[in-house]
Amino acid sequence: MSLKSRREYLNTMHERYCQANSRAEKSQLIDEVTGTLDYNRKYAIQVLNEPLLPVAKPPAKRSKSLLYLEAMPAIQRVWEALDYPCAERLHPVLLSTAEHLASHGELTLAATVREQLAEISRSTLARRLAKWRSPKPKFTLSNQKRLSRLRSEIPIAHYDWQEDRPGALEIDLVEHNGGAAIGHFGYTLSVVDAVSGYSRRRALLGRGQTGVLRELMLILSEWPFRPWGLHSDNGSEFLNDQLLRFCKTNNLTFTRSRPYRKNDNPHVEQKNRQFVREIVGYERYDTPEAITWLNSVYACLDIYANLFLPMRKVIAKERRGAHVHKSYDVARTPLERLKEAGVLEVQTLAQLERQLQNTSPLALHKELEDLIAMGPANEAAEIETVAQ
pLDDT digits (tens, 9 = 90+) for 155-204: 899 898 889 999 999 999 999 999 988 999 999 999 999 999 999 999 99
Share of the chain above pLDDT 70, in %: 91
The crossing angle, in degrees rounded to 10, of helices 209-221 and 241-249 is: 20
pLDDT at position 379: 56
Helices of type H across the chain? 3-19, 23-37, 41-49, 72-81, 87-90, 94-103, 111-119, 122-130, 142-153, 209-221, 241-249, 266-272, 278-280, 288-307, 334-341, 346-358, 361-387
Angle between helices 72-81 and 94-103 in degrees, nearest 10: 90
276: which DSSP letter? I
* CB distance 289 to 214 below 8 Å: no
**Residues forming beta bridges with residue 176, ordered by sequence position:** 186
Q: Per-residue pLDDT averaged across 369-376, rounded?
A: 91
Which residue would you say has higher pLDDT here, 55 or 249?
A: 249
| Tens-place pLDDT, residues 262-290 | 889 999 999 999 999 999 999 999 999 99
Does 386 score more than 50 pLDDT? no
Position 382 scores a pLDDT of 53
Most confident option among 38-42, 74-78, 145-149, 186-190: 186-190
The Cα–Cα gap between 91 and 79 comes to: 10
DSSP 92: G
Q: What pLDDT, on a 0 to 100 scale, did the predictor assign at position 177?
A: 94
Least reliable range by pLDDT among 148-157, 256-265, 291-300: 148-157
The mean per-residue pLDDT over the stretch 14-33 comes to 89
**C-alpha to C-alpha distance for 220 and 212, rounded to whole angstroms:** 12
Q: What is residue 239's DSSP assignment?
A: S
Lowest-pLDDT range, 10-19, 276-285, 294-303, 348-357?
Answer: 10-19
Q: For residue 75, how many other CB atoms are within 10 A of its CB?
A: 21
Q: What's the angle, vertex CA 299, arms to CA 294 and CA 301, rounded to 5?
A: 90
Q: Mind listing the pLDDT tens digit for each residue in 70-111? A: 999 999 999 988 888 999 989 999 999 999 989 999 888 999
Structure confidence at residue 4 (pLDDT): 80
pLDDT digits (tens, 9 = 90+) for 320-346: 888 999 999 999 999 999 999 999 999
